[in-house]
Copies of this chain bind each other. A is one copy, B any other.
């Protein structure tokens, strides 16, 4: 294959070896920005070129959540933009599964113990076996989470925009029926995109309907949960607990009540750690280079109007 037939890709701002390999095995060649018909960008918007050559018809961004790119005014209507939506779904779902299991099975207090307190902990260890778990916003991450839940013989209720049945879920509800899950499911995983419509999706009214053993996991965006209402529920013990990889505000400031509540688990937005990012992104990029070369629709195309 010559440079004339191969897709000319600019990989910036640095030539990550995983991504370079992904582009090459998809039949692409690495070129400078001036010669590029496609850009694969491996970092945030700060270092992104202020202007792009007209020859660039496609830009691949490295993140699944692309609010900062919209805020930076980088995304235009002149070309196709794709996010990394889907590339990290498995990694984030793995984190969500860990948070849910660790919460339900009281791991944090057991880890803190320095004595064999079996009689005390045994009644506090719960199980997902036979429980019902609602996944609010069952897109790529939610779908990747389902196999962990069915492994635990849990029943999955998926909530999606359309309500089209999700494979592996016992039931799928359209977003307009989200209100039904709060009093019927045992546990909740928030995996919906952050939009004006999903802000404070979980507030006092929703928390009040949950049971005292319900855990809520958020691996989406902090704004989807009303933090003040959540702290109140955790403080009162009206829900079992919350495990949050994202918070509002984020970063969570020192001294915030969430840091010290015993039924809150906080991980600092590390569900998809930077160190594993290029390795997981490479396959996604390779698939899109193949599609671009063939003139096919790309995966994870950004809709500037929808904001994701």
Q: How far is the CB of A45 from chain B (nearest CB, A)?
A: 18
A-side interface size class: 35 or more
- In angstroms, Cα B254 to Cα A266, docked, is 28
A139 to B117, CA, bound (A): 29
B153 & A90 in contact (Cβ 8 Å cutoff):
yes
| CB-contact partner of A151 in B107, B130, B147, B269, under 8 A | B147
Whether a CB of chain B sits under 8 angstroms from the CB of A70 is no
B152 touches A116 (CB 8 A): no
CA distance A123 to B270 in the complex (A): 9
Query: Closest Cβ of chain B: how far from A58's Cβ, in Å?
Result: 26
Contacts A130-B279, A252-B116, A273-B123; is A267 near B94 (CB within 8 Å)?
no
* Residues of chain B contacted by A122 (CB below 8 angstroms): 268, 270, 273-275
> Quick check: A97 and B269 within 8 Å, CB to CB?
no
Q: Which chain A residues in 120-139 approach chain B with CB under 8 Å?
A: 121-123, 125-130
> Which residues in window 96-129 of A have CB below 8 A to B?
97-98, 101-102, 105, 107-108, 110-118, 121-123, 125-129
A91 an interface residue at 8 Å Cβ cutoff? yes
Asked if A129 and B259 sit within 8 Å, CB to CB, the answer is no
* A205-245 vs B, Cβ < 8 Å mask (1 yes, 0 no): 00000000000000000000000000000000000000000
Determine whether the beta carbon of A276 is less than 8 Å from that of B129. yes
Binary interface profile of A, 250-276, with partner B (CB < 8 Å = 1, else 0)?
111110000110000111111001111
Chain B residues with Cβ below 8 Å from A308 are none
- Say yes or no: B102 contacts A267, CB within 8 Å: no
